[in-house]
Chain A
Amino acid sequence: MIQMLSITDTHSDSPAHAVVTSIVNAIPSPELSWTGWILLLPAISVVLTGLCCALRVKSKLPGWITVLALAGSFALVLKLYFLRGDAGAPVVVHLWDWMNFRWGDQGKWYTLQADVSVYVDSLTLFWLLFVTGLGTLIAIYATEYMESDVGKGYARFFNGVSIFILAMCTLVMADNLLLLYLGWEGVGLASYLLIGYYYKKPAAVAAGKKAFIVNRMGDLGLAVGIWLIWVNYGTIEFNTLFQVWNDMERGVGSFDKSLIPYCLMLGAFGKSAQLPLYVWLPDAMEGPTPVSALIHAATMVTAGVYLIARTYPLFALHPDALATVAWVGGLTAIFSATIGMAQYDFKRVFAYSTISQLGYMFMGLGVGTTFGAAYHTLTHAFFKALLFLTAGAIMHGFAGQLDLRKLSGLRQVPGFKLVSWTMLIGCLWLSAFPYSAGMLSKDIILVQALSGKDHGFVWLGWIGLITAAMTAYYAFRVWFRVCAGPVFYMPGEEAHDDHDAHAAPTSHASHDFHPHAPRWAMNGVLIVIMLGAFATGIPGYMELRGESNWVQVMMAHSSALAGSVQAHVTDVVNFGMNPHQLVELFGTIASLGGIAIAMYFHLLQRKSADKLRAWLLAHNSIRWIPVAMENKWYVDEFYHACIRGPAWIAGHILHFTDKHVVDGLMVNGIGRIPAALGRLFQPLYNGVLQGYATTMAGGAALVVAWVVYRWLTSGVVA
């Protein structure tokens, strides 16, 4: 049996906490075959937007096709959710046959069955709800954001978005690991296509390539993991696997069985941008901002969290693997927060904050609260989408300006009031302001970490609290710089080419430049997502009132049920306080303290921030700190030297070998032998017919002479 509950405490009285320790067997439900339309609608959108590409449609048609398809999917997901409720048993719906191999003999049969079937439990629904919901909203936003590309890349962009939603829905609905892998690679493809959307810009192309290659390394782990699961358990269908894992003893198994969770987590780390595979995500900000919001903040990067939550029964069998997940998550959280504190490009600040928040989610999974991880995924999806969309609105309005030193006081610029205030909400949620949704979800994870008895989880909890202070600082560093203070702005270089020329290209002086305020589609979406960000707090408030938390109920009826019970530990941890009191006190201090420091340096005394930096740089013993943080700890350079460099050298050596040894010496060398022989015998062919005849006759005479000689000397007749 899964005994994660030994870490957590179960003396809870709420009915939602009723302990279900095994995953309910899925019910085959052919009557739900209409769920296939959740996948089919984005698929149709892929085809139609592809046609728009081919026919060079010069209107916003592809955008609205995508919006309609995604809204249709979202409506179907809602229908499914209300039909099934929070606590229904998982269902399996067989849609189409895909592959079904059976081979072997003499009583030893192997089967590999992977059909296009959907496995719907509460975890699937939970993910589907925000993937399709946010996907629809961000597509609406993008119809306006991308309008300067109408007729150029507009259809291509929405084609990418449709591919992404199709693949993401496949990923979360798959009833077997192979279909999940198909979706997994599909979102990788969509991500690559959309990061490299501005394909004429070398940085965007390089970023797309980097994302794809770094993800490949993680995907290798996932592929090997799936293969090992098939080898060890003989099936890759979730329902069967869950029943097998249910009955297994914890920590028992062969070496390759205990290797499986490590392989799977490698895949998750790649897709969800964790150490050491996080480097692709900051560069992915080269893509259009709606893509950063949808794929690289809200949905795709949570696929890793989903994968571990989905295979949680397996992870629960290997506590060491879970501890690895927790530590990688915690270290990623603090590491990327240090980088985020020192970046000037505020979209990159948000990118590093995404990595950091994903780190929290993995920490939550690792310390045993899938509920906290899923809840943080939900709140993060909304507030981070909100932050990116406000960043996009500012980029859109200021010709691609992203430097927080060159923008100030936007809340007083006409048309940017709403952007500023929604960004404030996003920043408050990101900094876990007391009683915001971000705080409610983050605290579950921190409490669970501080309640941990082994693997140093208490230290991890403190790392999380320190990171929270850093998060509050960098979030409000952006807001106080960009939205507060005196009005001042400099337009960007229109580097992203997504702004219709409002500024005269010759002059970048601010008095010539008229910011391009967002209109109804962008503002409306910002309001809806802001309301959504508020709404994500509701499950937490319900819990504070003693009612059951919706996310918790959802997790308790899914494959992640082992981590769905929240810790209620009253043991004293540090400073004479139990984990709840610790997180309450220090979480509040971290959040408010971070905001206060940011306020001092970036609103009240902006000069002193420069002074501090100058002071740090002036002292040789500590000047490495700001330099390293601003340069992202030189991780890219390190990878460049340790991986790309050797690979480059090896590539050139192999290229040289191929060109001069394989091709030059072996292939062409062998080709030269007949040619040389030909040149050797060429003089014999002088064109004189009699010469040839003489040679032939001479040859024949020699053969005859030899035969006769043999005959005479053989003694047969003699």
Chain B
Amino acid sequence: MTHLLAASQYGASHAVTITLAMSALLFTIGLIGFLVRRNMILMFLCTEIMFQAAALAFIAFGRMRMDTGGQIFVIFILTIAAAEAALALGLVILLFRRKETLSSEAWSELHE
């Protein structure tokens, strides 16, 4: 932890550290959720959480470098995430119509 705090000496404030830690936490939550759930909608929501964790990291690093680029990117990420969410949910609906289930295991034969 001392090293992490030492990183703040490179221009990172305390807030940056906390934001980065938040981002890591969010990513971990998303990852664990993705790994343990079988419901495709929930798995998709978990990927969204990981996505937002990455966006949060962008803001943190932008802040660290005193650069607005990070925040600008987050605007783009949100836009794309919205579009991609529509697409992914559409796919999930299609998959559901095929097998009448939301479980990802129903599609495990695709590996062949």
Contact = CB atoms under 8 A, between A and B. Distances in A.
Nearest to A684: B111
Contact of A687 (B31, B36, B109): B109
Contacts of A712: 3
B3 A687 contact: no
Contacts of B110: 687
Contacts of B107: 687, 689
A717 interface: yes
Given A717-B3, A717-B6, A688 B34 contact: no
Interface stretch (A86-94, A220-228, A690-698): A690-698
A686 B111 contact: yes
B43 A689 contact: yes
Interface in A605-655: none
B30 to A, nearest CB: 10
B100 interface: no
A690 B35 contact: yes
Nearest to A690: B35
A718 B111 CA distance: 47
Interface string B28-46: 0001001110100001000
Nearest to B109: A687
Nearest to B28: A697
A313 to B, nearest CB: 80
Interface residues of A, number: 13
Contact of B111 (A685, A693, A697, A717): A685
Interface in A655-690: 685-690
Nearest to B24: A704
A688 B105 contact: yes
A697 B28 CA distance: 10
Interface string B8-38: 0000000000000000000000010011101
Given A712-B3, A717-B3, A717-B6, A697 B35 contact: yes
Interface in B94-111: 104-105, 107-111
A697 B108 contact: no
A697 B112 contact: no
A688 B6 CA distance: 42
Contacts of B35: 690, 693-694, 697
A694 to B, nearest CB: 6
Contacts of A697: 31, 35
Contacts of A693: 31, 34-35
A690 B34 contact: yes
Q: Among the interface residues A694, A697, A718, which one has the most CB atoms of the partner chain B within 10 A?
A: A697
A638 to B, nearest CB: 65
A690 B105 CA distance: 9
A690 B34 CA distance: 7
B112 to A, nearest CB: 7
A153 B107 CA distance: 68
A693 B104 CA distance: 12
A527 B111 CA distance: 88
Contacts of A690: 34-36, 38, 104
A694 B35 CA distance: 7
A686 B3 contact: no
A717 to B, nearest CB: 6
A693 B43 CA distance: 11
Interface string B69-112: 00000000000000000000000000000000000110111111
Given A686-B108, A693-B31, A717-B7, 16 more contacts: A685-B111, A686-B111, A687-B110, A687-B111, A688-B105, A688-B108, A689-B104, A689-B108, A690-B34, A690-B36, A690-B104, A694-B35, A697-B31, A712-B3, A717-B6, A718-B3
Interface of A: 685-690, 693-694, 697, 711-712, 717-718
25 contacts: A685-B111, A686-B108, A687-B107, A687-B108, A687-B109, A687-B111, A687-B112, A688-B105, A689-B43, A689-B104, A689-B107, A689-B108, A690-B34, A690-B36, A690-B38, A690-B104, A693-B34, A693-B35, A694-B35, A697-B31, A697-B35, A712-B3, A717-B3, A717-B7, A718-B3
Interface of B: 3, 6-7, 31, 34-36, 38, 43, 104-105, 107-112
